[in-house]
């Protein structure tokens, strides 16, 4: 089990624009969290491998919830831990189930399909905010805030 987690963590590559997006959020002191369907052991291994542990003190796993994504539970927990109303939150997702969870929680959801497991058309009827990549999202954040 640990060998698999280590393998996954070591082979994850940040999407282009991820570091700039994290820097944007940190510099502006914007509350933020990870709300993942993955178990904590995977979340923590990836975040640690990327060097992002100091930037994500709030990490929420669907393992703590009665229902996983597409239910909104993990997003509602993240909003509660941040002390922010869900309708004031922006979620960034890459899967239809995750996007549905965020929208069901009452959040605005921006999506960057991974083009392997998800394609843009898979988000039709869930969210109109489908982007080509994180840099495109980054260019719109000042407007959203």
Q: At what angle do helices 40-50 and 2-11 cross, to 10 degrees?
A: 40
pLDDT tens string 63-82: 999 999 999 999 999 999 99
Kindly report the average pLDDT of the chain as a whole number: 94
How much is the pTM? Answer: 0.92
Question: Would you state the pLDDT for residue 4?
Answer: 75
If pLDDT is split at 50, 70 and 90, which confidence band does 117 have?
confident
Question: Would you state the pLDDT for residue 11?
Answer: 78
State what percent of residues in the chain have pLDDT above 90: 84
Cβ neighbours of residue 56 closer than 8 Å, sequence gap 6 or more: 32, 33, 34, 47
Domain 2-12+19-140: which CATH class? alpha beta
Question: Would you state the pLDDT for residue 30?
Answer: 97
Kindly tell me if the per-residue pLDDT of 1 is higher than 90.
no
Tell me the domain boundaries of the chain.
2-12+19-140
C-alpha span between 98 and 103 (Å, rounded) = 9
Kindly tell me if the per-residue pLDDT of 137 is higher than 80.
yes
Residue 70, preceding peptide bond in cis (omega within 30° of 0):
yes
State what percent of residues in the chain have pLDDT above 70: 99
H or E element, residue 18: helix 18-27
């Amino acid at each position: 089990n640990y060998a698999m987690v280590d393998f996954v963590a070591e082979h994850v590559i940040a999407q282009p624009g991820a570091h700039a997006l994290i820097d944007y959020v940190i510099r502006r002191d914007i509350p933020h969290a990870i709300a993942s369907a993955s178990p904590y052991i995977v979340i923590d291994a990836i975040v640690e491998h990327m060097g992002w542990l100091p930037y994500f003190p709030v990490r929420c796993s669907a393992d703590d919830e009665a229902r996983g994504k597409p239910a909104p539970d993990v997003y509602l927990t993240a909003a509660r831990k941040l002390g922010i109303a869900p309708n004031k939150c922006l979620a960034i997702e890459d899967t239809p189930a995750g996007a549905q969870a965020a929208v069901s929680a009452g959040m605005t959801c921006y999506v960057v399909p991974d083009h392997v497991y998800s394609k843009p058309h898979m988000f039709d009827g869930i969210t109109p905010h489908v982007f080509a990549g994180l840099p495109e999202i980054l260019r719109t954040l000042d407007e959203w805030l």
